[in-house]
Amino acid sequence: MAFMEEISAYPIQCHLKDNLLWKADPSGMYSIRSAYRLLSNQNRSASDGRNFQLIWKLKIPPKAAIFTWRLIKDRLPTRANLHRRNLDLQESVCPLCHIEQEEAGHLFFQCNQTIGLWWESLR
């Protein structure tokens, strides 16, 4: 019922022809190039650039900065990422807890075998 109320605010204009409009391109026309550009830009935002500049300016060893960048961009060679890249793995389950799929988010924030380690390192 809410849908009907919402669309009732838009009058139907029988004398006008409907047109499809692709808003990802100024011309309004769909193209593979504009779709690719749209998808590429979703992965990169202005805040990403600023965040990554902060990482590179930190006074930490380059290895730590690269590791942090790879963690944030989900570029670590976890089993889930290797599987996505069509590497033939027998298992994608976390080798530590054997419960969840091995992904960066799981390893660093959810795995019951590593979460204590991270809390301990904050002390």
Tell me, yes or no, whether 13 and 68 share the same domain: no
Residue 80 pLDDT greater than 80, yes or no: yes
Confidence of residue 94 (pLDDT cuts 50, 70, 90): very high
The residue range of the domain holding 61 is: 46-121
Q: Is the pTM of this model over 0.85?
A: no
Residues 12, 63, single domain; the answer is: no
Is the same domain home to 106 and 50?
yes
Residue 88 reports pLDDT greater than 80: yes
**Residues 6+ away with beta carbon under 8 Å from 109:** 115, 118
Q: How many domains does the chain have?
A: 2
Looking at the structure, tell me whether residues 65 and 113 fall in a common domain: yes
Same domain? 28 vs 83? no
